[in-house]
Amino acid sequence: MASSSMATSISKALFSDSSISSSSPSTPRLLPLGGRQFHFNHKFNPILLRPSRSSDVFTRTCDTSPSFVAAAMATTEASFKVIDGKQTAKEIRDEIAEEISRMKDGIGVVPGLAVILVGDRKDSATYVRNKKKACDSVGIKSYEVRLPETASEEEVLKHIAGFNDDPSVHGILVQLPLPSHMNEQKVLNAVCIEKDVDGFHPLNIGRLAMRGREPLFVPCTPKGCIELLHRYGVPIKGKRAVVIGRSNIVGMPAALLLQREDATVSVVHSRTKNPEEITREADILIAAVGQPNMVRGSWIKPGAVIIDVGINPVEDSESPRGYRLVGDVCYEEASKIASAITPVPGGVGPMTIAMLLSNTLTSAKRVHNFK
């Protein structure tokens, strides 16, 4: 397809839903929010994760130089759009809050989410705090267990068993990564699949991979990526999609979701021979590798839509924290070539948390048969 027509068609699609307003009946919905004014494009309810990152601070920058960048600019810059995950997540939280109050009024039940945090990684503590805040903001009751780094696997399993049996808990999240002395598979398998709001249980992933089967939950981060594409009116069916990264929590389920949406999907990974060439074919690009600024302008097809899952800390003495967050995609360069991109921060991260809330609501509705 000629790159300029691609850019035009995408920009049209984007602007046809420029308000991305939660009340727009033409906006496709991922969230099963009561089925009143909403209609849904998919039948499953996921959440997506990001590869667990080390707390290392990387330094890598990208400067805008390739000459073709200038040529590509002319065709796409005018229609370039930032995909605002922070704002979209807020809209989704508002929708969820409304549903939860309807549920509370109707059957006197509020959804409950249990989070288990082992160890004292600073980044994990931050996410857990953010999840709690998000729960509070929509009316989900949160339960939290914090265990020391030295806790035994049995202790974690005991808490999971307790939450599995507790009818006021509808979702259980074990914050990853776990300390290295624990068997992650064993721990994740212990979460009953009806409460697996992370969507990490092999049975949920297996169903996601099979045609004609439906997972109970879709992993939050990939779900958030697809939700952004839907809410911004980006067509997926028949498009070429490339996912960079093949992690269990992001890359792999993202590729499965795109395929379920009728995209033609390639997965690029560390052993791929010609990653740049393959990536340049993508109408839709999801980058989930955890390498700061890895995807350069020359990797991007003019007019492509980019979802940047990476949240990488890079040293920055100007910033009060001593670091700032950058994505896997060189935003500077991409913004001159792509038709739309998610920023970091404020892109996929907030959506991940919104999808966790969505999955928790879905779980509570399902167990109480609340429509």
Ligand X SMILES: Nc1nc(=O)c2c([nH]1)NC[C@@H]1CN(c3ccc(C(=O)N[C@@H](CCC(=O)O)C(=O)O)cc3)C=[N+]21
Instruction: State which residue, 69 or 145, has the beta carbon closest to ligand X.
Output: 145
Between 126 and 168, CB nearer to ligand X: 126
From the candidates 81, 131, 239, 301, give the one annotated as an active-site residue: 131
Measured from the CB of residue 173, what is the shortest distance to ligand X in angstroms? 5
Residue 10 or 249 with smaller CB distance to ligand X: 249
Residues of this chain that interact with ligand X (CB under 6 A) are: 49-50, 52, 126-127, 130, 173-176, 198, 220, 311, 325, 344-346, 349-350, 352-353
Return the SS3 of 40. Answer: strand
185 included as an active-site residue: no
The encoded tokens of residue 169 equal: 């808990």
Distance CA 282, CA 247 (A): 19
Tell me, yes or no, if 198 is annotated catalytic: yes
- Upper half-sphere CA count for residue 41 (Cβ side, 13 Å): 23
**Active-site residue, 131 included:** yes
129 vs 111, 273, 298, CA distance in Å? 18, 40, 38
- Using DSSP's 3-state secondary structure scheme, residue 48 falls into coil
Closer CB to ligand X, 255 or 325, in the complex: 325
Q: Which of 175, 195, 239, 283 is an active site residue?
A: 175
Which residue is nearest to ligand X, using beta carbons? 349
Least distance to ligand X, CB of residue 359, Å? 10
Q: Which of 81, 84, 196, 198 is catalytic?
A: 198
Cα separation, 185 vs 182, in Å, equals 9
Do β-strands 323-326 and 340-341 pair in parallel, antiparallel, or remain unpaired? Answer: unpaired
Q: Considering the complex, what minimum distance in angstroms separates the CB of residue 127 from ligand X?
A: 5
Residue 91, helix vs strand vs coil: helix
CB of 2 to ligand X, least distance (A): 34
DSSP class per residue in 125-150: HHHHHHHHHHHHHHT-EEEEEEE-TT
- The set of catalytic residues is 131, 175, 198
